[in-house]
Amino acid sequence: MKALGYVEGQIEGASAVVLSEVLIEVTPESLRELAQFFAHCSSEMERMGEAYDHIHFQDVCKAWDPAWPDVIAIRQRG
């Protein structure tokens, strides 16, 4: 597992940086949404096999809040 990210407002043209720590400010509700997202991604990864590439949190979360960062679960490479 590896965590990568971008600085807010600096995504365009930027390269993702490898993070050594991930801090997520959450409420119980948003944490449940994230847990459901990761469960969904793991099921899709198993179902799709090598065809799985990535899934965006904002694309599958029914309670999506535009103030939240988009979390993207990508297949581990190498």
The tens-digit pLDDT sequence of the chain (78 residues) is 899 898 888 877 778 899 999 999 999 999 999 999 999 999 999 999 999 999 999 999 999 999 999 999 999 987
Query: What pLDDT score does 10 carry?
Result: 80
> Rounded distance, CA 10 to CA 27, Å?
26
CB 40 within 8 A of CB 48: no
Cβ neighbors of 1 (< 8 A, separation 6 or more) are: 76
Q: What is the pTM of this model?
A: 0.84
